[in-house]
Amino acid sequence: MTFLFDRPLSRTRAWTCALTNLAATPGLGSLMGRRFFAGTGQLILAFGGFFLILGWMFKLCYRIFLEQLGEQVPQNSSGWMLKWGMIFFGAGWLWSLVTSVSLLLQVKVDERKNLQNVPPKLAGLPNANPKK
């Protein structure tokens, strides 16, 4: 039984990994492309950034809610969460961009290597195309 990680990297699979990395979840496509260290680091950065941005959003909504109720609104001190969340997520995304380009370049090199290993066609041999 062939699992996802056992198959060789094809052009289609490399593009799927790149699109997953750049459009869905940074790091997930790298893991699919068997770049385990890079994929794990990208996922940690992306999720860390995501949760910091999510915390900033919850604090912002809480402040808006208190303001609408006419309550005293505490001073905003969550700007660092947005800043570092964007930095972490951006770093994970940029790292996944580099890994995606690396996967696509690896496929090109592998395709060239496979073309060099193809034996030449045997043309002009007697009985190569027997006429009936």
For 115-131, what is each residue's pLDDT tens digit?
777 677 777 666 656 56
- Calpha distance 130→132 (Å, rounded): 6
What is the model's pTM?
Answer: 0.80
* DSSP string for residues in 63-124: HHHHHHHTPPPPPP--HHHHHHHHHHHHHHHHHHHHHHHHHHHHHHHHHHHHHHTSPPP--S
The residue extents of the domains of the chain are: 11-111
For 46-102, what is each residue's pLDDT tens digit?
999 999 999 999 999 999 999 999 999 888 888 999 999 999 999 999 999 999 999
Question: Which residues are within 8 A (CB) of 87 and not within 5 positions of it... i.e. 6 or more apart?
Answer: 49
